[in-house]
Amino acid sequence: MDLLEYQGKQLFAKHGVPVPDGRPATTVPEAVEAAEELDYPVVIKAQVQIGGRGKAGGIKLAKGRAEAQEHATAILGMDIRGFTVQQLYVERASEIDEEYYAAVVFDRSAKKPMAMLSRMGGMDVEEVAETDPEAMRMLHVDPLLGLQDFHGRRLAFESGIAQDVVRPVGAMLAKLYDLFVREDATLVEVNPLLVTKGREVVALDAKVTVDDNALFRHPDVAEMRDLSAEDLQERMAKERGLTYVKLDGNVGILGNGAGLVMSTLDVVAQAGGRPANFLDAGGGSKAEAITSAVEVILSDDKVNAVLFNIFGGITRCDEVARGLIEAFEQIKPDVPFVVRLDGTNDKEGRALLAEANLSNVHTEATMLGAAEKVVELAGAAA
Amino acid sequence: MAILVDTETRLVVSGITGREGTFHSLRNRDYGTNVVAGVTPGKGGQDVDGIPVFNTVHEAVERTGANTAMVFVPPRFAADSILEAEDAGIGLIITITEGIPAHDELRVYSHLKRGTSRLVGPNCPGILSPGKANVGIIPAQFFKEGNVGLVSRSGTLTYQIGNELAQRGFGNSTIVGIGGDPVPGSSFIDMIEQFEADPQTELIVICGEIGGSAEEEAAGYIAANVSKPVLAYIAGFTAPPGKTMGHAGAIVSGSKGTAAAKAEALEAKGVRVGRNPTQVSELAVEVLGTRV
């Protein structure tokens, strides 16, 4: 789960990472009130789950009430690379002397946390890594020991940051690591890490990703979920306990097991089709789960054909067939379905479908055959 | 032969009295696996259809000589169960549980690395050595004994590929699910090393997916260390960046972890990659000859 900047900064403040004073706002009057409280100059910042806010005009300096009003009005509702701004953050402006970069990330290949520091902040990290790889210093941390003082010292000295801020930057790294562990984060990034004209060290931005699997022990963080960033289908699926990812094609997909569903998307694409979604109905799905999955898939207007690809292990094909029959009774879909049932109770499942004799349901024996058929039907319907 | 689980396996199941734990423990036993004990704290002295239940793994090991553990407990207790099994001297710990926090997995992984116990999973379907033992949730009826070693990050996709191979007459030495989480206890490399040393295995098939770099690392290992033929399949060519595709570990981060990059890395090291599950079985025919 990705947090918005202001939510990340709430966690920063909780763990003692210095941040400029700021207030969230969801309306223009709220934003102006926040600006008045903080006193000018302030920065009005769009809160969206995507980078490049500044370039898109989503971050503006306001020196007085009129400007605060003007910028808040312009930014609220603005579209930034597909994300509509529904939340603002109003922050006391900082006087910038130097911009660094600090992060604690989870390095999957080393299977260890990694602390990072660079004297080149305020720009795209991947760009820095390419143009000046030496500027980014990285150290792995033993998760059983945690970040030690020497890690911070080494990073600070080796990255070549100003000598007078080595200590406070090291201290900030220690706090970021503490947050990373205690909040079950998989990413904590500060870009830029600011040295002000008064030589104070503050986190000017905050990017925090919290492990979804650990939200049960962080109810306060779980409440921060930004529902507006999820679309209708993804929300519906979550409420029904299904794993769904929206894509931009027209072939609806349902399968059991993440790997098999990913593979199904690929095979449909190879057959010349465009998948509309990823939907994993899970292991051991019962008929009701299948029925609600069909509901979710068909709520996407672009879908004009649906593929069921089931290899039953724990999942029983007769349960899947029952779910589909039930869905037809309840929803009466007007798009064609292609169904491939293999594995546990496949004969029973196919027999149920034959008996129900649903119009517009085609059964196929193989995964490849089913993919070709659904692409053909989706093409004909388009 | 086969790898990891066989007729020598003496299995203790953590979480045996839960619904799923009971169901699969009994299925594993029906298959012929020697399920010697179960553990549920507070239920020591009971039994599950004749399988004795103990309060601690230590007691189960002492009383039954268990040498392999299967962990079926809910995610928030799973790390503790794995560490308990390790502390009790279990050499192979197979964790089926899905949804364990990544930081728990990091700590468990780092601790186990310092000892000799091997973890397979979490978030995996288990290990099946056809004709010998089944530990986990793999539907054994689709697989028979044979010479193909199969290792995969995904459950149902493994069944799909295994079934395609079976239809062409191939059986398996062992099928290992290493799981779909970001911190798997065992990697492709760990399993490939085992298959390379296993006389029953003549062909190794690895089944990967988007996210991380385990497939790329395996490619380098195979080129340097493996004499047996290796085939691969990668799922997720159409996955968009930044979205978790069902498995916690299946995510393309920026430009990293794409299926295309993985297939390319494997092919660059001479590992042939099937474009779909059917093609994998066709490649197996090319390598081993027709079996039907």
Tell me the per-residue pLDDT of B8-66, one tens digit each, with 9 for 90 and over: 999 999 999 998 899 999 999 999 999 999 999 999 999 999 999 999 999 999 999 99
Q: Residue B252's pLDDT is what?
A: 83
Pick A55 or B292 by higher pLDDT: A55
At A66, list the tokens: 């009129």
Kindly determine whether residue A259 and residue B275, on different chains, have CB atoms separated by under 8 Å. Answer: no
At B226, list the tokens: 């493996």
pLDDT in tens, B143-187: 999 999 999 999 889 999 999 999 999 999 999 999 999 999 999
Q: Residue A325's pLDDT is what?
A: 93
- Cα A380 from chain centroid? 34
How does residue B248 score in pLDDT terms, banded at 50, 70 and 90?
confident
A-B CB pairs within 8 A amount to 169
Q: Residue A134's pLDDT is what?
A: 83
In the CATH hierarchy, which top-level class contains the domain A21-92? alpha beta
Q: Where in chain A is the domain with CATH 3.30.470.20?
A: 96-222
CATH among 3.40.50.720, 3.20.20.70, 3.30.1300.30, 3.50.50.60 for B11-120: 3.40.50.720
User: What mean pLDDT comes out for the span B271-283?
Assistant: 95
Q: Residue A382's pLDDT is what?
A: 56
Q: Where in chain A is the domain with CATH 3.30.1490.20?
A: 21-92
Do A358 and A349 form a contact (C-beta atoms < 8 A)?
no
Q: How far apart are CA B292 and CA B290, in angstroms?
A: 6
Q: Which residues of B touch A266 (CB under 8 A)?
A: 235-238, 259, 275-276
At A47, list the tokens: 């809160």
- Structurally, what CATH architecture does the domain formed by A96-222 represent? 2-Layer Sandwich (3.30)
Q: Which of A5, A189, A319, A364 is catalytic?
A: A189
Burial of A248 (0-12, 13-18, 19+ CB in 10 A): exposed
Pick B246 or A354 by higher pLDDT: A354
Hey, CA dihedral for B74, B80, B83, B87, is it positive or negative?
negative
Q: Residue A269's pLDDT is what?
A: 96
Write the single-letter amino acid at A217: R
Q: Which of A6, A101, A177, A244 is catalytic?
A: A101
Q: Which residues of A touch B276 (CB under 8 A)?
A: 263, 266-267, 270, 367-368
CATH among 3.90.198.10, 3.30.1330.10, 3.40.50.261, 1.20.120.330 for A231-381: 3.40.50.261
Q: What is the pTM of this model?
A: 0.93
| pLDDT < 70: residue spans in chain A | 226-230, 283-284, 381-382
| Residue A203 to chain B, least CA–CA distance (Å) | 23
Note the residue count of chain B. 292
Q: Residue A129's pLDDT is what?
A: 74
Report phi then psi at B91, rounded to 5.
-85, -25
Q: Where in chain B is the domain with CATH 3.40.50.720?
A: 11-120
Q: Tell me, what's the ipTM?
A: 0.91
Kindly determine whether residue B250 and residue A181, on different chains, have CB atoms separated by under 8 Å. Answer: no
- Chain A residue nearest residue B216, CA to CA: A109
Q: Please say if the pLDDT value at position B249 is more than 70.
A: yes
Kindly determine whether residue B209 and residue A262, on different chains, have CB atoms separated by under 8 Å. Answer: yes
Q: Residue A140's pLDDT is what?
A: 97
Q: Residue B31's pLDDT is what?
A: 97
Q: Where in chain A is the domain with CATH 3.40.50.261?
A: 231-381
- Determine which of A49, A314, A342, A344 to mutate to test the interface with B (most B C-beta atoms within 10 Å): A314
Write the single-letter amino acid at B141: Q
- Cα A231 from chain centroid? 12
Q: Residue A222's pLDDT is what?
A: 93
Kindly determine whether residue A278 and residue B239, on different chains, have CB atoms separated by under 8 Å. Answer: yes
Q: Where in chain B is the domain with CATH 3.40.50.261?
A: 143-287
Could you confirm whether A189 is annotated as catalytic? yes
Q: How far apart are CA B161 and CA B63, in angstroms?
A: 40
Q: How far apart are CA B248 and CA B180, in angstroms?
A: 6
Look-up: residue for tokens 């519906």?
A: A236
Kindly determine whether residue B210 and residue A111, on different chains, have CB atoms separated by under 8 Å. Answer: no
**Domain boundaries B143-287, corresponding CATH code:** 3.40.50.261
Kindly determine whether residue B156 and residue A267, on different chains, have CB atoms separated by under 8 Å. Answer: no
pLDDT in tens, A157-209: 999 999 999 999 999 999 999 999 999 999 999 999 999 999 999 999 999 99
Kindly determine whether residue B139 and residue A245, on different chains, have CB atoms separated by under 8 Å. Answer: no
- Determine which of B98, B160, B189, B256 to mutate to test the interface with A (most A C-beta atoms within 10 Å): B160
| DSSP conformation class of A12 | H
Q: Residue A287's pLDDT is what?
A: 83
CB A27: neighbour CB atoms within 10 A? 11
Q: Residue A230's pLDDT is what?
A: 67
Write the single-letter amino acid at B219: A
- Chain B residue nearest residue A243, CA to CA: B246
Strand partners, B120: B94
Q: Write out the catalytic residue numbers of B.
A: 247
* Rounded to 5°, angle at Cα A315 from B192 and A263: 50
Q: Residue A321's pLDDT is what?
A: 93
Q: Residue A381's pLDDT is what?
A: 60
| Residue B55 to chain A, least CA–CA distance (Å) | 26
Kindly determine whether residue A143 and residue B236, on different chains, have CB atoms separated by under 8 Å. Answer: no
Q: How far apart are CA B133 and CA B145, in angstroms?
A: 11
